[in-house]
Structure formats: C-alpha cells, structure tokens
Structure 1
C-alpha cells in the first residue's frame, strides 16, 4: 500500500514541479489572486488524475507525454504570459528535463543495483521510494536552474529558432520513448540501451545549451540594434535642435535689424512710421513663428522642435495644449510622445493632404496624449497595427515597442484606432 501511495505522491510532485517551473519562468497574466490559485490547483489536479488513471493501463512514461504536454500548454496559454511558441518550447523543455532525469536515474540505478530496467519499474521496496525521491529532487533542481537562467538572460528566440528547437526536442523525446519501449519489451540489451540513453542525455543537455546560446545572441543583437536606433534618434534630435537654434539666431539677427530701423525712425521723430513698421513685423512674425506656452519646459521644447519639422515638410500642425499641467515624468513622456509624433510625421510625408492634430491635457490623474494624422487608406489590419513593411525589420518597430513597454511600465493605456480619414493614437499616462 505504501508503495502505491509513494507512486501517487511522486506523480503529484512531478505535476507541482512542472507547473511551478512554468509559473516562475513565464509569470501570470493580470488576473486576480483567487483565479491564479484556482486555475493552478485545478490544472494540477486534472494532470495528476489523468496520469494516475492512465498509469493503470500503461507502464511506459512516453505514452503519457501527450497528456502532460496538452494540459501544460493549455494552462500556459490561458493563464501565463508570453508568446505561444515560447510557451510551447518551455513545456517541451520541462518534459525533456523529466526524460533526462529519469534516464540518468534509471541508468545509474541499473548499474549500481545490477537490475534490468523492467525490474526497476516493478520494484516494490524502500529502494524504489529512495529512487523516486532522488529523481524528484533532481528534477526540481534542474528546472530551478533552467528557470533562473532563463529569467537572468531574459529568454528570447525568433520563431524559426523556436521551431527548430521544438522539432529537435520532440525528436529526442520520441526517440527516448521508443528506446524505453524496446527495453520494456526486452528487445534491446541493457548495455546498448545504457549507451544510447547516455547519448540522448548528452544531446538534450547540448540542445538546452544551444537554446540558451541562441537567446543570449539574440539579446546581444537586439541590444546593438537598440543602441544604433537610439544613436540615430539622437542624431535626428540634434538636427532638429540645430534647426531650432538657427531659427532663433535668424530671429535674433532680424530683431537686431528691426530695432536699428525702429531706432532710426524714432531719432527722426517719425513715430507713425515706427509704429507702422512694428505692426508690420509683428504680423509677419506671428505668422512665421509660433511658440508653445505651457508650464512644462519639456513639453514646450519637444512641440516646438516637431513644429519646425512639420513646417519643413509642409505638414499643417494644429495643437490643443492645457497650459497648467502638473509635474510629470519627462523621460516617459519623451519616449511616448517623441516616437508617436515621429511616426505621425513619417506617415504624413507620404500623404497628399498633410495634417497632424495634437492634444495634451489632463484626464483625471492621467496625462492624456492624442495624436491624429490624416490617412488616405486603411492602416490597421483587423484592428491591430501591421508589422513593419521595411526591409530592415530588426531596426524598425523598436519605437512602437518602446511606446508600449513604457506605457505598460507606468500602468497606463495606449489605443490605436481609425476614425473617418484619421489615424489616432490615444495614450493615458498616470502622473
């Protein structure tokens, strides 16, 4: 009786370890604590019961892989964060870890005890319980190590790399199950099986290592791309600042000339001509130079810089600004506002009717940013932004990712939609 209970406890331990690995690696979506606990408990119970029932009919662990995979993947998809192919791969990594641990423990136990593989499975004595305990501790340690490595390196793979890794992992797991079946049917000598199992263990370990190398390399490439993009954006902002500086210097030079002319009129006591001249230059400057005047220097500077870019590209810019804005995070605002406005300008350059509308005000305790740009054709696909159509896909799309990441980090909200002939970006940033 105690050995049957120990097998059930081992099955439950497997389930708990696997779910904890996925939770610690992927983390929960934004759901309530009650839903987290209930969904995890139900999934563990469902998996443990399914495995226990199927174990009555199968002695081969490989035959139960599909049950493990299906429940773990569905749970990850519904409750946990991450892209589906990352979830798919991590479930396979967890199953591969089980195979790796069981293979190693079985090989070592067979060598030490000098028993056949089938005898180990049918063993009913304290040694069997000890083997189960060792295997669960080993599985827990390996998955904790993998989880810590993934979180430390911020696991990231491209879809094609993920697909290749998935195919290789599935191949090794299926091949390992076939070897196990051959052992149970006494179709393969234990010495050959031991060598093959050791090879599979090495292959699995190398696969995991290669996956981590892929992830580290991808992060290095993305970091390089991000830095290059930041450098390019800094160069653009520098050019905008230089343009602004030139405009201010031109204005200063013109004002000096205007003052000399007015001074000469006044020296000649020709007040009427002086007033007429002042009126004339006031009208001209009012048309040509418009300055943003809010209580936020950062907002004023950014809009004035973008205004110059719009003017150079013949884009009509209309602004509505709340002048008495409370203090807000300049860095977050600059990332969100700068990238959105740059996207709007880039889109308007290709339009015949070039117009951008900007609104910045307070909505409750949130900074409300709305940027609208005219469009002649639909931009969104099924209500979502399309992927970049540019050839250099690594370097494009980063700005939009920065916007979404910044808004999410501030617990804000961003929405993109179309209305009439306008593309609208609507952002709420908590103060």
Structure 2
C-alpha cells in the first residue's frame, strides 16, 4: 500500500512538472510573438503618419490598445522561476474571472529547486482556483511572497465557500485521483527542507502560508 501511494505521488509530481513547464513555454512563446509583431505595428503606424492618415493611425492605435489589454505580461519578482510559475497560474485564474493581486520580491538564487517551487506554489494556487470557482460573486486570490531572513515566506488569501472540513493537518479537496495528493506533497517537500505550512478555513475565505529555508 505504501509503495502504491509512493508511486502515485511520483506520477503526480511528474504530471505537475510537465504541466507547469508547458504553461511556462506557452507564456514565453506568446510574449515572443508580441515582441515580433511590435516591429510590424510600428512600421504600419509610421507609414500611415507619413502619408498624413492621422485618423487611420489613431484607429490603429485604439485597436492595438484593446488587444494589449488582453495580454497577460510576465511578472517580475526578481526570480525567473517564480515569475513563470505565478504568470502561468494568474493566466489560468483570470480566465475564470478571478481577480488576482501579487506582491512579491524574491532573489533569483534559492536553495530550493525550481521543480519543488513549482509544486509548492502551483499546488496551492490550483487549490485556490478550485475554491474560487465555488463562489458565484466575488472571486479573488491575493498572494504575498518575500524573503524573511534566510527563509522564503508565502502567504495567500482566496475567496471560498463554506468552511472546509479538516482531516488531520489537511483540508479535504474535491479533486479526484492523484490530484488529491496535492497538499500532502506540499507538506512533504516543506518537511524535507525543515519548513512548515499552515492553512485556515473560514466561511468565505481560505488562507495558506508556508515558510521554508531558501537562502544559504
């Protein structure tokens, strides 16, 4: 039974990493495409202005403005991996009409691996998105990340439905299959590094926190 559970956890971790890497590649590909197109937009505007077609140029700018409003720019926290992870998850949340705010400042070099970071942050935000989808009115996720001493601190508040039931140190999830190992995997990684996590559920809101050594 333990071996079967372990194999499920390994399968889950592999699935998570592959999915997150795919999300990161998608974001960078999209941003590269917009950078490439920007040159053509400038050339088109230059031609219109040189031809004296002011109204046409203004219309073109308005169309570009509307298009850019729908572009999710990559976050800049100071850590490339966290930028990519958060940007991918924020794009998912916004697609579900969830308002997301992030305040984060993280150095680029951390002792915890990118894979572990992806699993920690990705799992918690996935659970926050799942929780928000059960709310009909205000959907929000508020994230704060910073270095405290030599520790990486993560805090998140998200909208939720009714107070969740707890089983041991974890709250029950509606996810099926290997997805149910999400929070357990988070705890395992944090325990391995000498960190801790804490969750709190109330009617209408859910909070997640973790603190883990990340600086030598």
TM-score band, normalised by the shorter chain?
0.7 to 0.9
Point out where structure 2 has 5 or more consecutive residues left out of the alignment. Answer: none
Query: What is residue 259 of structure 1 aligned with on the other side?
Result: 42
Secondary structure (helix, strand or coil) at the match of 1:397 reads helix
Query: What is residue 16 of structure 2 aligned with on the other side?
Result: 233
- Residues in 1 aligned to 2:113 and 2:131: alpha-carbon distance in whole angstroms: 25
- Residues in 1 aligned to 2:143 and 2:175: alpha-carbon distance in whole angstroms: 26
Q: 1:325 to 1:283 in 2, by over 3 A?
A: farther
- Residues in 2 aligned to 1:368 and 1:222: alpha-carbon distance in whole angstroms: 29
| Counterparts of residues 177-216 of structure 1 (less than 5 Å) | none
Q: 1:219 to 1:411 in 2, by over 3 A?
A: same
CA RMSD of aligned residues (A): 3.2
The counterpart of 1:359, out of the listed 144, 147, 150, is 144
Shift of 1:374: 0.3
Between structures 1 and 2, the one with greater helix share: 1
Query: What is residue 160 of structure 2 aligned with on the other side?
Result: 375
Listed one character per residue, the Cα deviations across residues 111-147 of structure 1 (whole Å, up to 9, x for unaligned) are xxxxxxxxxxxxxxxxxxxxxxxxxxxxxxxxxxxxx
Q: Is the 8 A contact 1:379 1:385 kept in 2?
A: no
Query: What is residue 342 of structure 1 aligned with on the other side?
Result: 126
Listed one character per residue, the Cα deviations across residues 169-190 of structure 1 (whole Å, up to 9, x for unaligned) are xxxxxxxxxxxxxxxxxxxxxx
Query: What is residue 14 of structure 1 aligned with on the other side?
Result: none
TM-score by length of 2: 0.78
Q: Is the 8 A contact 1:407 1:429 kept in 2?
A: yes
- Residues in 1 aligned to 2:146 and 2:203: alpha-carbon distance in whole angstroms: 23
Q: Is the 8 A contact 2:24 2:85 kept in 1?
A: no
The counterpart of 1:333, out of the listed 109, 117, 129, is 117
Q: 1:419 to 1:368 in 2, by over 3 A?
A: farther
The structure having more radius of gyration, on CA atoms, is 1
Q: Is the 8 A contact 2:31 2:73 kept in 1?
A: no
Shift of 1:427: 0.9
TM-score by length of 1: 0.43
Secondary structure (helix, strand or coil) at the match of 1:359 reads strand
Give the structure, 1 or 2, with the largest relative contact order (CA under 8 Å, sep 6 or more).
2
Shift of 1:220: 3.2
- Residues in 1 aligned to 2:100 and 2:206: alpha-carbon distance in whole angstroms: 15
Secondary structure (helix, strand or coil) at the match of 1:401 reads helix
Shift of 1:231: 3.9
Shift of 1:370: 0.8
Shift of 1:233: 2.2
- Residues in 2 aligned to 1:265 and 1:304: alpha-carbon distance in whole angstroms: 35
The counterpart of 1:308, out of the listed 87, 91, 113, is 91
Q: 1:411 to 1:224 in 2, by over 3 A?
A: closer
Q: 1:261 to 1:295 in 2, by over 3 A?
A: same
- Residues in 1 aligned to 2:77 and 2:70: alpha-carbon distance in whole angstroms: 20
- Residues in 2 aligned to 1:231 and 1:411: alpha-carbon distance in whole angstroms: 23
Shift of 1:343: 1.4
Listed one character per residue, the Cα deviations across residues 91-130 of structure 1 (whole Å, up to 9, x for unaligned) are xxxxxxxxxxxxxxxxxxxxxxxxxxxxxxxxxxxxxxxx
Secondary structure (helix, strand or coil) at the match of 2:147 reads strand
